[in-house]
Amino acid sequence: LKAYADGVNAWLDNNALPIEYSGLEVTEIDRWLPIHSVAIAKVLAFQLSNDLNEIDDTIAIGTFQQVGAAAGFDGTALFMEDLYRAAPPDGRVSVPGFLGSIGGIGKTEQTLKQSIGEFALDLTDVELKMLHEIKNNWSNSAVMKTMKNDGNTDKGSNVWVIAGDKSANGFPLIANDPHLSLDYPSTFYSAHMSADTGLNVAGVGFPGAPVMAQGCNESLCWGSTVHPVDEMDFFFESIKTNTFVIPTHTVDQGQEEPIVWVFQTYNANVIGDGVMNNTARQEVGYTHGGLTYLVPRRNFGPILSVDTANAQAVSMQYTMYAPTKEIESFFDMARASSIDEFRTALTKFDVGSQNFGVVDVDGNIAYFTGAEVPIREDLQTMMQPDGVPPMFIRDGTGEHMNEWMSLTNPDDNQAINYEVIPFDEMPFSVNPDSGYVANANNDPVGVSLDNNVLNQVRPGGGLYYISQGGYSSYRMGRIDRLIQENIDRDTLFTS
C-alpha cells in the first residue's frame, strides 16, 4: 500500500492535474496515503453488501401488522408470504445438494409461521419518527440512493466455470460479467501488475487501490459476483444524555455503556471566486455530520437517529466496521498457485460478500463464498428469533436475545470479534460431478427456495442463517439451462 501511494505521489509531483480539476479551482491536492486505498475498499464493500432496506422493511411490515389487526387480516403473512417473499421466482441453484450433504446442514419441517414465531413490532410514534427520519435522509442523498440495495437498480453480475472435459481445447473455462453501476471514475479498470518477486497478474482493479478484483495469474483465473448475505443489523437503543442533551451511554440490561464521540471536520475549495486552492472549513452542524456517535457493542457502528427527549436511538451494526482483511485477501489471490491457496486467500475476505469462481492450469474448477456472517444468539441457542427476526430492526436493550454472539471459536483468519458461520459451512463446490458451477446473484444453495430462511440447521446445532432471501434468479435460470442443454447434447464449450 505504501509503495502504491509512493507511485501516485511521484506522478503528482511530476504532472499537472487533469483539466477537470480546473472547474473546482484546484491545482494541487493532498498526498495519497495508504489509508485512502483502504477507505476505497471499504466503500466498495459497503456498496455491495449493505442491508439498508431493513429500515424500509420494518416500516412496511409494522404498517401491515397494524392495519391487519384493525381490518382482520394477517399483516405478517401479507408481507412475508405475498409481497416481500424470500423465495426466488426461479429455483436453480449453484451447488445442488449442498444442504444436507456437502455442507452437513439439515432442515427442520417448520412452516414459515412456526420459524419466525408470533411477533408484532408495535412501533411507537417515537420509533416510527426515527425510522422515517433515517429513510428521508437516505432518500435525499444521491450517494445513498445509488448505494442502497433495494432492487431499484441492477447491480447484478454473472460468473460460471466449466471443467476441461466439457471444453473444446480440454482446458477449464471461466466467464465473468461484473456489471456494476456505471460511475465516473469507473469501478473497474484494466491493469497488469508484475514484479521481480514473482507477482504477475492481469485483470481489472479499483482506481485508488493496488488490487486485482478479477483476473488471472500464471496459475489460475478467477471472477466474482455479489452474494447478498446478512452481515448487518439495526437496533432500537435506550440511551442516556448529559446536561447538554448529548448522548453519552447506551443501556443494555440496565447497565450503562459509554458511547464514543467522533468529531468530524469537512473542508472544501471555495468555488467561483477565481482564487485557486483557497480551501475553507465547511460549517457542518453537530447534528448534520459534525459529530458521530459510535456504539462499541455494535462493532463501533453509528447511531443513525436520536430522540433525546425520549432517550431512544437507532443504531447500526455491520461486520465492515472492524479492521478487515479484504486487501490482503486480494494480494493473496494474486499470488495463489492452486485452488487450495486461493481458498485460503478467501478466508481473509471478510466483508463485501462475493461468490468467487476459479479455475486453474491443472484443470480444477471451484466456487467459494467470501464473507463473514455473524451468528445471532437467539438463532443459535433458541433455534428461532427472540422477538423480531433479524431482517427487521431488533431490540438493543437486552430485553431479547438479539445480540451477535461473542467470539469463543475463531475461524481461520477471522477478522470480526463475534462468532461467525465457519468458512467450511459457507457455500462452496470443488470439481463437481456436473462439470460446472454458475452464479448470477442467485441463492447458491437453496436456503430460500421454500420461502423460509430460518429452517436450516447447522451441523453442530443452531439455525443456519446466512441471508434474508429475495435473491435475483432469472439470469441464473437462463444461464444454468443453457449450460445444461449443451452438456446434454455433448456440445463442447469454446472461449
Per-residue pLDDT 10s for the chain (495 aa) are: 999 999 999 999 999 999 988 888 999 899 999 999 999 999 988 988 888 999 999 999 999 999 999 999 999 999 999 999 999 999 999 999 999 876 789 999 899 999 999 999 989 999 999 999 999 998 888 888 777 766 665 567 999 999 999 999 999 999 999 877 677 778 888 999 999 998 999 999 999 999 999 999 999 999 999 999 999 999 999 999 999 899 999 999 999 999 999 999 988 888 999 999 998 899 888 877 899 999 999 999 999 999 999 999 999 999 999 899 999 999 999 999 999 999 999 999 999 999 999 999 999 999 999 999 999 999 999 999 999 999 999 999 999 999 999 999 999 999 999 999 999 999 999 999 999 999 999 999 999 999 999 999 999 899 999 999 999 999 999 999 999 999 999 888 887
User: pTM of this prediction?
Assistant: 0.94
For residue 58, give the H/E element and its range: helix 53-71
341-344, long-range: CB within 8 Å, 24+ apart, which pairs? 342/220, 342/222, 342/366, 342/368, 343/368, 343/428, 344/412, 344/413
8-state DSSP, 15: S
Q: Which residues contact 310 (CB under 8 A, 6 or more apart)?
A: 126
For residue 261, give the H/E element and its range: strand 260-263
Q: Tally DSSP H helices, then E strands, for the chain.
A: 11, 22
Place of cell 493496488: 210
Burial class (CB in 10 A: 0-12, 13-18, 19+), 31: exposed
Q: Which residues contact 215 (CB under 8 A, 6 or more apart)?
A: 201, 202, 203, 204, 205, 221, 222, 334
Q: How many CB atoms lie within 10 A of CB 362?
A: 13
- Strand-pairing partners, residue 200, are 194
Distance CA 260, CA 242 (A): 14
Mark 470-494 as b/e (b = at least 16 C-beta within 10 Å): bbbbebbbebbeebeeebeeeeebe
